[in-house]
């Protein structure tokens, strides 16, 4: 998972409600933040807020932020500087703009944000956005008096959110679990998202059904520790993620199921077995290892060794031989020597990744590793990152090239840059390009892969529309 990506927010339909105000949401960070942003728009709809893509015209601007690395946090403050000017320009035209900071930076640095940027009206953490209508109403009344809400409420926000207003499209996110109790020594997430908690099974299945009714063919189950899922089942008693996936696979027309992000320690037998047994469960898994050195893994408090990880990979591949893998890596963790880094390269060579994210260690305030002596010099971090990325990029290219000559079902979900081009995802999460009409969007169609590139594959759409995840044609529809 790339904690520094920005993602566009789908524009919500507002139904029959008169939309008199506009809200602009900018999102950084993980998929869970993207999901939260769509839900914030849902919560605000009854107040008459419709989404806009133009921040300068917005009555309310929400920055949904990420705290994972220093760079991610810096971006928020530079964006706030730009917004201040927009707010002032709007005021000279007699208008008004509320500025809100949400997400993990808000949770971690709430008071500091208000000190550094006193023109911010609202600061609220990831667990409080179900209260947005109330917060916004208060902010509009108490002009000049900023509102700060970084509670971890006892109630779950999911019990208070309205039904989703806007279809997310062919590939939808669904949060099933939040927070983290693992406390890896480099990571802010346990502090910004709070304790680990799972949503009840019924709530998730109902939301998945609505997403499918709204046109989703693929649902990605989200959680900071998604495979630690232990939500309450319909008859009481906790369900694991494997059981939840099997139940979701019963939903007609839900062709693809994915989940992210997993921790190696929570890959239990049932979940691994599900990969061999549930055809809708896609053969791709993001399973972060962070390092290949046991002493670094210990110092990171990961509670698994490199060997434990490799055994899990072997079991996954036994259950599902074509399983493609992805990971996150941190280089230059405090105390990392050349020998530790070499162990990471060995692990990468042993696994063979289809894709991966890698980062230089970034000391985060309040985390144990940031206080450790033996911080690695920046130049060494740079060299190691370059070497690791070279290897990972070569593996990704090799994987993409190995797909040439194969036919695979692709879920097309976006128009390409060029007219007549459509973009989608293979079962292995590769971006796939093809020439095809826009009516293919939302469909799973067979692609004969001709080219494998650094970050994508390309090919020709072949006869037939494949409507099930196991690649069985439901209708022969002729060449499209």
Based on CB atoms, which residue is closest to ligand SAH, 326 or 443? 326
Closest CA to 248 of 199, 281, 215: 281
> Residue 87 belongs to what H/E stretch?
helix 70-92
Residue nearest to ligand F3S (CB): 29
Candidate residues 165, 220, 224, 344; the one interacting with ligand F3S per rule CB under 6 A: 224
Angstrom distance (rounded) from CA 48 to CA 22: 8
CB 195 within 8 A of CB 177: no
Q: For residue 106, give every residue at least 6 positions away whose Cβ sits within 8 Å of its Cβ, in sequence order, or none.
A: 65, 113, 123, 124, 125, 126, 150
Out of ligand F3S, ligand SAH, ligand SF4, none, what residue 330 binds, judged by CB under 5 to 8 A for its kind, is ligand SAH
Out of ligand SF4, ligand F3S, ligand SAH, none, what residue 103 binds, judged by CB under 5 to 8 A for its kind, is ligand F3S
CB 40 within 8 A of CB 25: yes
Span from 62-70, 147-155, 198-206, 328-336 in contact with ligand F3S (CB under 6 A): 62-70
Q: For residue 194, give every residue at least 6 positions away whose Cβ sits within 8 Å of its Cβ, in sequence order, or none.
A: 126, 127, 152, 178, 179
Q: Which two tokens mark 69?
A: 């690395």
Distance of CA 299 to the CA centre of its chain: 26
Q: Is 9 in the site for ligand F3S (CB under 6 A)?
A: no
76-115 binders of ligand F3S (CB under 6 A): 103-104
The 10 Å Cβ neighbour count of residue 185 is 18
CB 64 within 8 A of CB 25: yes
Q: Is 34 in the site for ligand F3S (CB under 6 A)?
A: no
Based on CB atoms, which residue is closest to ligand SF4, 68 or 445? 68
Strand duo 122-124 + 444-452: pairing: unpaired
Distance of CA 41 to the CA centre of its chain: 18
Out of ligand F3S, ligand SAH, ligand SF4, none, what residue 364 binds, judged by CB under 5 to 8 A for its kind, is ligand SAH
Based on CB atoms, which residue is closest to ligand F3S, 177 or 396? 177
Distance of CA 444 to the CA centre of its chain: 22
182-211 binders of ligand SF4 (CB under 6 A): 182-184, 187, 189-190
Closest CA to 291 of 409, 170, 385: 385
Out of ligand SF4, ligand SAH, ligand F3S, none, what residue 359 binds, judged by CB under 5 to 8 A for its kind, is ligand SAH
Q: Which residues of the chain form contacts with ligand SAH (CB under 6 A)?
A: 1, 3, 68-69, 186-187, 189, 224-225, 261, 263, 288, 290, 328, 330, 359, 361-362, 364
Out of ligand SF4, ligand SAH, ligand F3S, none, what residue 66 binds, judged by CB under 5 to 8 A for its kind, is ligand F3S
Based on CB atoms, which residue is closest to ligand F3S, 51 or 103? 103
Based on CB atoms, which residue is closest to ligand SF4, 224 or 280? 224
**Range list of H helices, 93-240:** 103-116, 132-141, 189-192, 201-213
Angstrom distance (rounded) from CA 321 to CA 307: 19
Helix (H/G/I), strand (E/B), else coil: 370: helix
Out of ligand SAH, ligand F3S, ligand SF4, none, what residue 146 binds, judged by CB under 5 to 8 A for its kind, is none
Backbone dihedral angles phi then psi of residue 286, each to the nearest 5 degrees: -90, 110
Out of ligand SAH, ligand F3S, ligand SF4, none, what residue 22 binds, judged by CB under 5 to 8 A for its kind, is none
The 10 Å Cβ neighbour count of residue 89 is 12
Based on CB atoms, which residue is closest to ligand SAH, 24 or 186? 186
Q: Is 224 in the site for ligand SF4 (CB under 6 A)?
A: yes
Write the binding mask 146 to 185 for ligand SF4: x where contact by CB under 6 A, - elsewhere.
----------------------------------x-xxx-
Q: What angle do CA 421, 424, 427 make, to 5 degrees?
A: 145
Out of ligand F3S, ligand SF4, ligand SAH, none, what residue 77 binds, judged by CB under 5 to 8 A for its kind, is none
CB 291, min distance to ligand SF4, A:
12
Angstrom distance (rounded) from CA 162 to CA 46: 9
Out of ligand SAH, ligand SF4, ligand F3S, none, what residue 190 binds, judged by CB under 5 to 8 A for its kind, is ligand SF4
Q: Can you give the binding site for ligand SF4, defined by CB under 6 A?
A: 180, 182-184, 187, 189-190, 224-225, 263
Q: Can you give the binding site for ligand F3S, defined by CB under 6 A?
A: 3, 29-30, 32-33, 66-68, 103-104, 188-189, 192-193, 224
């Amino acid at each position: 998972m790339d904690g520094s990506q920005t993602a566009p927010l789908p524009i919500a339909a507002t139904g029959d409600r008169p939309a008199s105000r506009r809200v602009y949401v900018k999102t950084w960070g993980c998929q869970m933040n993207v999901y939260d942003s769509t839900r914030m728009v849902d919560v605000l709809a009854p107040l008459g807020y419709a989404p806009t893509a133009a921040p300068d015209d917005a009555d309310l601007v929400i920055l949904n932020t990420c705290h994972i690395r220093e760079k991610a946090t810096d971006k928020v403050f530079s964006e706030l500087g730009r917004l201040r000017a927009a707010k002032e320009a709007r005021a000279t035209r007699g208008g008004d703009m509320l500025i809100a900071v949400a997400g993990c930076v808000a949770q971690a640095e709430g008071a500091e944000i208000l000190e550094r940027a006193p023109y911010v009206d609202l600061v609220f953490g990831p667990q409080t956005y179900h209260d947005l209508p109330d917060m916004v109403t208060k902010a509009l009344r108490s002009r000049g008096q900023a509102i700060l809400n970084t509670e971890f409420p006892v109630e779950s926000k999911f019990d208070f959110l309205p039904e989703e207003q806007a279809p997310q499209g062919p590939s939808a996110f669904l949060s099933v679990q939040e927070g983290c109790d693992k406390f890896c020594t480099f990571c802010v997430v346990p502090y910004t998202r709070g304790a680990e908690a799972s949503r009840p099974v019924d709530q998730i299945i109902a939301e998945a059904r609505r997403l499918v009714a709204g046109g989703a063919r693929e649902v990605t189950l989200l959680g900071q520790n998604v495979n630690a899922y232990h939500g309450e089942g319909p008859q009481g008693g906790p369900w694991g993620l494997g059981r939840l996936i099997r139940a979701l696979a019963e939903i007609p027309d839900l062709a693809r199921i994915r989940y992210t992000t997993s921790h190696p320690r929570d890959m239990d037998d049932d979940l691994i077995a599900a990969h061999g047994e549930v055809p809708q469960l896609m053969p791709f898994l993001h399973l972060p290892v962070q390092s290949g050195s046991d002493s670094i893994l210990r110092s990171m408090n990961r509670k698994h060794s490199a060997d434990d990880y490799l055994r899990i990979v072997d079991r996954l591949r036994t259950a599902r031989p074509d399983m493609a893998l992805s990971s996150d890596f941190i280089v230059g963790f405090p105390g990392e020597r050349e020998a530790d880094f070499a162990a990471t390269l060995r692990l990468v060579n042993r696994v063979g990744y289809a894709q991966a994210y890698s980062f230089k260690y970034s000391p985060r305030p309040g985390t144990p590793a940031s206080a450790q002596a033996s911080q690695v010099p920046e130049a060494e971090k740079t060299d190691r990152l370059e070497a690791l990325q070279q290897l990972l990029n070569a593996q990704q290219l090799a994987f993409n090239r190995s797909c040439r000559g194969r036919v695979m079902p692709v879920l097309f979900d976006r128009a390409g840059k060029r007219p007549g081009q459509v973009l989608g995802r293979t079962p292995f999460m590769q971006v796939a390009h093809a020439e095809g009409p826009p009516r293919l969007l939302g469909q799973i169609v067979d692609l004969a892969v001709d080219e494998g590139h650094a970050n994508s594959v390309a090919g020709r759409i072949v006869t037939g529309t494949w409507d099930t995840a196991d690649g069985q044609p439901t209708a022969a529809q002729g060449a499209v």
